[in-house]
């Protein structure tokens, strides 16, 4: 996977950042024993996924044709067999 651009797009960064903020909010409210705040954080986590998908649909994600490209080694040139001399 080295050399891949998987996840290095504005859509991925934005979605992950929003989801991370949601996890932080949920964690803080869980420690404070406030269920409403916990669930509000979970809504923010889901919102991060939705925003990421919307941005990908707008063209800010990884292009689909690049996701399917595989690298192959170049073919060796064809050589005719050499006949043995007697």
16-75 pLDDT, tens digit each: 999 999 999 999 999 999 999 999 999 999 999 999 999 988 888 887 765 555 556 666
Q: Could you tell me if residue 5 is inside a domain? A: no
The total domain count for the chain is 1
Task: Give domain status of residue 81, yes or no.
Answer: no
Which tokens is 59 given?
Answer: 């063209």
Q: Is the pLDDT of residue 2 over 60?
A: no
Whether 82 maps to a domain, the answer reads no
69 domain-assigned:
no
- pLDDT surpasses 90 at 76: no
**What pLDDT shows up at residue 83?**
72
pTM for the whole structure: 0.66
Q: Does some domain include residue 68? A: no
Enter the tokens of residue 24: 């932080």
Q: Is the pLDDT of residue 8 over 70?
A: yes
Domain that holds residue 36: 10-58
């Amino acid at each position: 996977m080295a050399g891949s651009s998987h996840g290095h797009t504005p859509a991925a960064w934005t979605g992950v950042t929003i989801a991370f903020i949601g996890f932080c909010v949920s964690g803080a409210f869980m420690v404070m024993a406030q269920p409403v705040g916990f669930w509000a954080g979970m809504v923010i986590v889901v919102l991060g996924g939705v925003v990421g998908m919307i941005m990908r649909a707008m063209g800010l994600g990884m292009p689909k044709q690049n996701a399917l490209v595989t690298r192959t080694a170049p073919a060796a040139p064809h050589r005719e067999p050499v006949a043995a001399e007697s």
